[in-house]
Structure 1
Amino acid sequence: MTGTHTIQGKFVHGSTMRHVINMTATGSIGLIAVFLVDVLNLLYISQLGKPELAAAIGYASTLLFFHTSIAIGLSIATTATVSRAIGSGDINLSKQLAATSLILISGISLVLTLVTYPLLDGLLSLLGAQAETASLAKRFCQFVLPSIPLISLGMGLSSILRALGDGKRAMFVTLGAAIATAILDPLFIFVFQWGLDGAAYANVCARAVLCGIGTYSVLRIHHFYLAPCKQVFQRGMQAFGTIGIPAILTNIATPVGNAAVTSFIAKYGDQAVAGWAVVSRLIPMAFAGLFALSGAIGPILGQNLGAKRFDRLRSTMRDSLKLTLFYVLIVWFLLAISSHLIARAFGAQGIAADVIVFFCIFVAGSFLFNGSLFVANAAFNNLGYPLYSTMLNWGRSTIGVIPFVWLGGQWFGARGVIAGYGLGVIFFGVAGVWLCFRVLEKLEQKHCEA
């Protein structure tokens, strides 16, 4: 049973553009810090002078990204269920659903970690890792994989903070982890001379910090936890089934697409893989605003759906797409003019440098369509149509990646693989936005008929 106490949703009044910008800005700061540290991590490893170390990080990151994507899917389910309850005004229900989400996240991530650990050799082989590079990638994964439950729980706690509208503390969660990594990475890699192992240890410590700050913020600051009764726990499980499973499938699609690119580009040697590893880290750092935006609009949409404010749902979508256009144009310009500098910073030469420079000058602009797809996916997940985002993301990561990178590789080598990766998203970005506004019309029509 839920109580009679009420809670006022922060996002059901005021300018939607202001809410979108504020939540995206706080989310971006935390994400940029995390991704910047990730880039620095690769930069430090590159300075050790062994190309196979950078390639090993590339393979390991591709594999570990599968688990991170599952964690993101679980956090999406958390945001959707908790923010809707907050929008409806029921505080006890909101707290119980938050607790249910954290319990489910912990259990699911632990099981997946235990299942994956003994399969590392086969999975890395599927990605194209061979000989010493495969051995190094496996060693890195063996250290980092057990910390997956920590990052999953940390993401879940951060999503509860965003659902509450506390973007600042959600930012502190990721910012704290980034600061920990920034301090520990050079200490472990260079001062203690642990090399690749040092990077892995720093990764694990940062995830513990992420989880610790999130726990303190949710439990001690907001006191937003209430042991769920059987009825609410079952409701939470149902929500994770209807929202979480499609959201997980949606997010798994992205590393599948990345794995396909890694596999195709591996044909051009460790240098090409090292170049793609740099690009893979450059993307989330440079376009952190888009990743933050997709997370930021979830609670705004969820609260307004709970409050039945359909006018605000439409304006939130329009404002998000305007921000996407503005952001991508600025980032594309900055990447293009600094492309050679980025390549030199990582000591990239030959094919590795070609891959990095080509992405920055030509392919980065495709993130206008990626960003539009992110926004549409966030809307589908929070409006009760998560299968739409699953279909679009899998379409983008299979039909929109594999034939394009294969043809690109056949015609233009490693550059062609990167070009194919960018071209394949255009149709899916446009289709996602069109379908999203159709869903909003359908929701309002259902409400009017009820």
Structure 2
Amino acid sequence: MDATSAERTAETRTDTPVFVQGSTMRHVLVMTGTGAAGLIAIFIVDLVSLLYISWLNDPSMTAGVGLATVVMFFTVSINVGLMIPIGALVSRALGARQPEDARRLATSGSILMTMIGAVVSLIVLPFLPQILGAMGASGQAFQVAQGFLWIALPTNALMALGMAFSTILRAAGDAKRSMYATLSVAIVTVVLDPITIFVMDLKADGAAWTINLARVAYLVVGYLYLTRTHRLLTQPSLQSVIRDARPFFAIAIPAILTNLAAPAANAFFTGIMAQFGDQAIAASAIIDRVTPVSFAGVFALAGAIGPVLGQNWGAGRYDRMRQTLKDSLTFMVVYILSVWLLLFLLQVPIVIAFNAPPLTAELVQFFCQLSGFIWFFISLVFVANASFNNLGYPLLSTFFNWGRATLGMIPFAYFGAQIGGPKGALIGIGAGSIVFGIAAIITAFWTIRRLERQAVPTP
């Protein structure tokens, strides 16, 4: 194929909206499946890294890495919030058959996301002692967490740019290549983690250095796909960045506020577990690794339906938007029930693999028995938030996420811990999510009906 033909092919791919025709369930399954594959790869890498650390037979080391992960969850959550406006704006432009606008928005969004990622690192690093102290970190666990973060946090800007490129690929409907970019993180980490942790004897610091190298791979692979296959980046200009900053931040600010609810709730829960010692913190760290691997399909679903909804909104297909939401709920129910059964059956092998001490093992097994109940209602909020963020209602996403993370968690987890110890805190998380999950999904269908009523018919 000559250069002109290749250019025409890339132009056609950009001009033709992928999600405005064909089965919505198929789009949901394909986007979720490829997204889940990439996410599972990353989450398994995190799980394996903690597994390696646990083999050092030092609960304080495991607890320290777990605490560092909670802090990194804040920075990654901000990055995820920044991905949302890129995906929403680019997919909407593609759905409306405006490829030049899509390229400009993709480029401006990537630049803005990288700049904010760098600023976040510069703000967080000086305050690590206060942040870790507020989470109950002390002794060796504190030292391990602080050393880990000083190595890994400075490359947050690279991670932000890689995530921007991956989001643009998904907005264009190229879930497969977005998955390949994500898989590059897993490949690099699986190869290098044993070398840095054991062979080079860097222990927890080795895992942190591997994270940096994996982020570089993620960035490079995503850039190559975007520039060679889709041509969805254009020459950057200060004027375009300034022009696009307003719609970008109109979605990004409430999306970031929304996403910060989860790490804030995580930090609060870690603080509760810290009252019961390093073994309880280690259990929380293991649960934090097992959860995303197990429920990666839910995380992927929340990211998958955004481009589908965005393109159909741009094309004025409100019937397909409603069907996409219904298909997402069907997938979610089947997926969560399947994972719940699997975790119940594997609860003992999981604690054996992590060489968990008694209290840690008891808490991890209890979570496996309760996980489906907790995550069913949390997943309803996830799906609804994806709809809100991509259909012009980001403040609703902020409201429901923070509502669940505060009113729906803090009092329930706190009093649960007072009554039933760390197990009571776990029960509280699930109980507090019920009302917010149900209300969020009902509101999501309402927003689509409202958009349809507000639409002006085109002659």
**Superposition pairs for residues 319-398 of structure 1, below 5 Å?**
319-398=327-406
1:68 is aligned to 76
2:179 to 140, 158, 171: 171
**Letter of the aligned partner of 1:300 in structure 2?**
V
| Shift of residue 184, structure 1, vs aligned partner | 0.6
| Shift of residue 232, structure 1, vs aligned partner | 4.4
| Cα distance per residue 1:230-263 (max 9 Å; x no partner) | 6643442112221111111111110000011000
| Shift of residue 8, structure 1, vs aligned partner | 1.4
Q: Is the 8 A contact 1:364 1:422 kept in 2?
A: no
* Aligned mates of 1:218, 1:201 — CA distance in 2: 27
How many residues matched? 447
1:44 maps to 2:42: no
2:38 is aligned to 30
1:59 is aligned to 67
| Shift of residue 65, structure 1, vs aligned partner | 0.6
Deviates more, 1:58-67 or 1:224-233: 224-233
* Aligned mates of 1:302, 1:286 — CA distance in 2: 27
* Aligned mates of 1:70, 1:193 — CA distance in 2: 32
Q: Is the 8 A contact 2:107 2:236 kept in 1?
A: yes
2:94 to 81, 86, 93: 86
| Cα distance per residue 1:56-108 (max 9 Å; x no partner) | 01110001110000000001111001000001101111100000001101111
- Please give the root-mean-square deviation of Cα atoms over the aligned residues, in Å: 1.4
2:450 is aligned to 442
1:290 to 293, 298, 320: 298
* Aligned mates of 2:345, 2:325 — CA distance in 1: 31
2:287 to 259, 262, 279: 279
1:148 to 156, 162, 172: 156
Q: Is the 8 A contact 2:337 2:372 kept in 1?
A: no
1:211 is aligned to 219
| Shift of residue 448, structure 1, vs aligned partner | 4.8
Q: Is the 8 A contact 1:354 1:415 kept in 2?
A: no
Task: Give 3-state SS (helix, strand or coil) of 2:137's partner.
Answer: coil
- The percent of aligned pairs where both chains have the same amino acid is 44
1:10 is aligned to 18
* Aligned mates of 1:182, 1:371 — CA distance in 2: 29
**Superposition pairs for residues 197-208 of structure 1, below 5 Å?**
197-208=205-216
1:180 maps to 2:180: no
**Letter of the aligned partner of 2:195 in structure 1?**
L
Gap runs ≥5 in structure 2: 1-10
| Cα distance per residue 1:347-390 (max 9 Å; x no partner) | 11221111100110023332111111111000000000000000
Q: Is the 8 A contact 2:344 2:369 kept in 1?
A: yes
Deviates more, 1:366-375 or 1:222-231: 222-231
**Superposition pairs for residues 219-298 of structure 1, below 5 Å?**
219-227=227-235, 232-298=240-306
**Letter of the aligned partner of 2:434 in structure 1?**
I
* Aligned mates of 1:65, 1:410 — CA distance in 2: 26
1:117 to 125, 130, 146: 125
Q: Is the 8 A contact 2:61 2:144 kept in 1?
A: yes
* Aligned mates of 1:111, 1:198 — CA distance in 2: 25
2:410 is aligned to 402
Q: Is the 8 A contact 2:377 2:430 kept in 1?
A: no
Task: Give 3-state SS (helix, strand or coil) of 2:63's partner.
Answer: helix
| Shift of residue 221, structure 1, vs aligned partner | 2.3
Task: Give 3-state SS (helix, strand or coil) of 2:15's partner.
Answer: coil
TM-score w.r.t. structure 2 length?
0.95
Q: Is the 8 A contact 1:81 1:236 kept in 2?
A: no
Task: Give 3-state SS (helix, strand or coil) of 2:355's partner.
Answer: coil
* Aligned mates of 1:319, 1:208 — CA distance in 2: 36
* Aligned mates of 1:231, 1:437 — CA distance in 2: 37
**Letter of the aligned partner of 1:447 in structure 2?**
A
Task: Give 3-state SS (helix, strand or coil) of 2:19's partner.
Answer: helix
Q: Is the 8 A contact 1:363 1:419 kept in 2?
A: no
Q: Is the 8 A contact 2:93 2:102 kept in 1?
A: yes
Shift in alpha-carbon separation, 1:200–1:228, aligned structure 2, 3 A: closer
* Aligned mates of 1:201, 1:188 — CA distance in 2: 8
2:115 is aligned to 107
* Aligned mates of 1:45, 1:311 — CA distance in 2: 50
* Aligned mates of 1:313, 1:167 — CA distance in 2: 19
Q: Is the 8 A contact 1:96 1:229 kept in 2?
A: no
**Letter of the aligned partner of 1:379 in structure 2?**
S
* Aligned mates of 2:59, 2:51 — CA distance in 1: 12
Deviates more, 1:303-312 or 1:347-356: 347-356
* Aligned mates of 1:80, 1:228 — CA distance in 2: 20
* Aligned mates of 2:246, 2:408 — CA distance in 1: 31
| Cα distance per residue 1:326-348 (max 9 Å; x no partner) | 00000000001111111111111
| Shift of residue 208, structure 1, vs aligned partner | 1.0
Q: Is the 8 A contact 1:113 1:148 kept in 2?
A: yes
| Shift of residue 220, structure 1, vs aligned partner | 2.4
Q: Is the 8 A contact 2:93 2:101 kept in 1?
A: yes
* Aligned mates of 2:347, 2:27 — CA distance in 1: 33
| Shift of residue 224, structure 1, vs aligned partner | 1.2
Q: Is the 8 A contact 1:301 1:382 kept in 2?
A: yes
* Aligned mates of 1:416, 1:184 — CA distance in 2: 39
* Aligned mates of 2:332, 2:323 — CA distance in 1: 14
Task: Give 3-state SS (helix, strand or coil) of 1:9's partner.
Answer: coil
* Aligned mates of 2:107, 2:354 — CA distance in 1: 43
| Shift of residue 227, structure 1, vs aligned partner | 2.7
